[in-house]
Every structure is written in structure tokens, then in C-alpha cells.
Amino acid sequence: MEFKKSSTPGGRYRRAGVGAGGAGGVTHRDRRAHLRVGDGVCALGGRPDAALESAFPCPLSFYEALPEGDVGLTDFEALAVERLRVLRAVEKVGQLGAVKYSREWANKMDEELGNPKGDLRGYSFDGMSRRTRDHLLARERDHFSHYILRLAYCHQEDSRRWLVQQECDLFRYRCMRLGDLRDFIDAYDLSYEPVPEDEMKKYGAVLEGLVYGGGVSGGGVGRSRSFYKVPFTEALDLVRSRKVLVVGGFCYVPDSEMVTLVAWIFKSLLTQALLFANKMLPALNEDERMVQVLGDLDKRYTGADYSTQEGDGPVVKPEMIRPLSQKSFPLCMRNMQTTMNATHHLKYKARLQYGLFLKGIGLSMEDSIRFFRQEFTQSHIDGDKFDKEYVYGIRYNYGREGKKVNWTPWNCMRIIMEAVGPGENHGCPYRWVLVGSTVIAMNTCYNFSPVLREKSFSF
């Protein structure tokens, strides 16, 4: 996407026309030549500091310049997953209850992205704010990963809407942490002109009242004495919230509110770029490697890794499961273990629910196969039948078969919503089992005191 400078006072970048051949005069063939995916040496991180500083002069970016160079297939996928984790972290913060773009929200973003023990620090503002090589390389990874996710999320309206929302929130967070946006405005030659001195004298009292009288929000860059003259049509949100002075078709915008304007430009650019990327997809589908990486990226699990290995955390062995179920398992899981103790078998949904739970508490895939084989072969199932009919499902849970997704254990809501038929043992006993039976099971399992036992039967 390319912007051209307007001839109007305080002119913005106007979007250049996007035709069938490209945007801003860049042809379809030219665009494909910029980012190449190969199996050889990766150009990512190979540029000298001077080239990196020239390409990424500011920790903020409109991502208007296409990334250039070769990216190894492994790095291509790693960048895609990194960016997806970042945007899901942004979405998570937005759901925690803090008012968006408030100081509390920004602090939570710092905690989520800037955790020193995490591997997403390079995407936080503190991870790319300085001009050291590490921070410049972080800006480069940020740029590449943004474009890769454009390709993955441009194909459907819902996906585009989600990506735009999370990218805009990430951009606003970085704007808030940058503080003074004048360097960013200059770097991108946005041509927002400061209000002339004579007009400042003329409207000074009104502008001072606007800033210090509560009209300007506290979520920007702080108290402001600088103002920019902006066309009315580019500051409609600020006009709607009465944060600017409007005179003769222009808005006098405090620099603390300029984040709203640059975020609007960012959103407009990204929205149009995603529509254009969607038109490019048929050509990108020629490369099967990219299709494999990008095809199901939006469904990729990016949470905690439950495939526990030796030395990585708590490890559960098959012989530990039965005693653990008696003292530590929730009632739903204990029910399934009790059923398996009695019948040495579980139906499909129970195997799925219980198998993922055991995976989550630290049972390895090999031990899971050994555990279920030991139990099932005590009934009517022999070893060959177990290998043919049951091992695949266990390997599927651990991401070794099928879609090869590292499935997460079911949460309570998923368990509660599962329908349970006759003779089945999965689901939530608090929903599907009779109240009296559930209370008896709880009293038996968790050894309630006599007082609690008497109260529990009273209802």
C-alpha cells in the first residue's frame, strides 16, 4: 500500500489507486519477488545495523513497505506462529475487563508481552524501542510476521475483521508507550502541520481549556501544549467525543490525541491491504509449502504445551494414576477412572475426555498407550485389536496423527456442554447425574465431615 501526499493544508497521505496489477504502481510480479520462501540460508537477521535502521526507523510501523529477502520455511512458520501468539495475547488482555487504551490496559499489555521469562518480549514496545541490534532485529521480525499473517487471515471477512482489530490494538498500545508521536509523524512524512502561532494566540484560551478542562483523555501521551491542524473529515471520532476545536473545516488536535488519527490511518491501510492480499491468494496457492503453513493457521493451538517430556515439569506414570484419582482428581475424571477399574473399558467420548486430561497432568504419549493397553486388555480386547482400534486415537490426542494438532484438555465449559447418552461416563456429573447420587459420590470421594454430610443431604 502506498500513500501520496495531499496538496491540502495539513494534508494527509491519500491512498493511491489499487488496480488489478497492484497497489501504487507495483505489479503483481514485483510483489511476489519481494518475499521468497526457501529451504536454504535465511536472509532474516542478516542485514547490517545501518540497513535495519534505515528500513525500520521507528518502533511503530504502518507496514507499507513489503519485506524483502529470503526466509527459510522453518522461520516462515515460526514467525507466523509468533505473530499469532502475540495477537491472541492482545485479544486476551482486551477480555480481562480493563478499559481499552486506558493506563490499566497498557500495563496489562506490558505484563502479557513484556514478560522477561516469555519469548514474546521482542514484540512488546520495550523489546524494540531502542536502536541496538537486538531491538532492530525485533523490528524486522515484527515486520515479516505481520505480512505473513496478512496472507493467513485475508481469505474470509471474519478473519480479516479479527486481524484488523488485534493489529489496531497492538498499534495503539505501542503508540501509548512511544509517547511523543512527532518522530513517527516525521518518519512517515504524514505532513500534519502544527497550528500557526497567530492562530494559537487567537484560540489559545479555548485550546488551553480543552486540554486542562477535561476534554482530552488521560489515555494518550499526557498533557499537551502542541496542536495540529487536521481536516475535519479525518478527525470525526475526536469531534464526536468533543476532544478538538473545530474552526473553518479544520480540527485543532492536541498532540496527546494524535494517536487516534494515526491509528485511523493504520486501520484504513490494513483493511485495504487485506482485501488486496485476498486477490493474490490464487497465485500463492501455487506453492504447496505455503499452503500447508497458512491453511489452518487460524485454528493452530498456541497455548501451553501439554506434551510433557522428562525434566520439563511434573511427570505422571501409569502406576500413579489410580492412587491419584482417589485423592486429587475432579469428580468427572474420577468417575471415568472408577468405571475403567470396574469394566476395563471406556467409550469413545470418555476416552477422549480422560485421555486429554491425563495428557494435561503430565502423562506422556508412550505411557498413555501403555496405561490404556494394560486396562483394556483385561477385558475382551486383545493386544492386536487394541493396536488397530485404539492406538490411533491416543496418538491423535498428542498431535501425532490426523491434523497433528497439539490438542488441549477440555475445559469445564466444554465438559458441561457435552451430551451424555445411556451407558456413557464422560461429561459433567453435576449436570447429568441425579443430585442424590452426586452427593453420595462427593461424600464418598472427598470424605466430608459429618456436619457437611448432613447439610449436603438436606437439599
> What pLDDT is attached to residue 32?
37
Q: What is the mean pLDDT of the chain?
A: 77
* Straight-line distance from the first to the last Cα atom of the chain, in angstroms, rounded to the nearest whole number: 66
pLDDT in tens, 263-302: 989 999 999 999 998 888 777 777 777 777 777 777 665 6
Burial class (CB in 10 A: 0-12, 13-18, 19+), 284: middle
Q: CA dist 406 to 90, 106, 302, 349, 418, Å?
A: 22, 31, 9, 18, 21
pLDDT in tens, 308-335: 444 455 688 888 999 898 888 998 999 8
pLDDT in tens, 167-218: 999 999 998 888 778 778 877 777 788 888 888 888 888 887 776 555 554 4
Task: Tell me how far apart the alpha carbons of residues 381 and 402 are, in angstroms, rounded to a whole number.
Answer: 24
pLDDT in tens, 221-245: 334 468 888 888 888 888 888 888 8
Residue 317 in grid coordinates: 506414570
The one-letter amino acid code at 41 reads: V
Beta strands of 267-343 (E only): which ranges?
A: none
As a whole number, mean pLDDT of residues 75-99 equals: 87
Task: Tell me how far apart the alpha carbons of residues 440 and 428 are, in angstroms, rounded to a whole number.
Answer: 15
> What pLDDT is attached to residue 155?
85
Q: Which CATH architecture has domain 3-187+263-298?
A: Up-down Bundle (1.20)
Task: Tell me how far apart the alpha carbons of residues 161 and 454 are, in angstroms, rounded to a whole number.
Answer: 54
**So where are the chain's domains?**
3-187+263-298, 193-257, 318-427
Sequence-ordered list of residues with C-beta below 8 angstroms from that of 25, at least 6 positions apart, any chain: 2, 16
pLDDT in tens, 115-174: 766 678 888 888 888 888 888 888 999 999 999 999 889 888 988 999 999 999 999 999
Residue carrying C-alpha cell 498533557: 223
Contact 284, 151 (CB under 8 A): yes
As a whole number, mean pLDDT of residues 395-419 equals: 86
Task: Tell me how far apart the alpha carbons of residues 329 and 342 are, in angstroms, rounded to a whole number.
Answer: 17
Q: What percent of the chain has pLDDT over 70?
A: 77
> What pLDDT is attached to residue 115?
75
As a whole number, mean pLDDT of residues 109-113 equals: 89
> What pLDDT is attached to residue 168?
95
Asked if pLDDT for residue 26 goes beyond 70, the answer is no
Q: What is the DSSP letter of 220?
A: S
> What pLDDT is attached to residue 17?
33
Contact 321, 363 (CB under 8 A): yes
As a whole number, mean pLDDT of residues 338-347 equals: 91
Using DSSP's 3-state secondary structure scheme, residue 135 falls into helix
> What pLDDT is attached to residue 305?
52
pLDDT in tens, 346-402: 999 999 999 999 998 989 988 999 999 999 998 888 888 998 899 999 998 988 888
List 254's β-bridge partners, or say none. 227
Strand 250-254 with 245-247, pairing: antiparallel
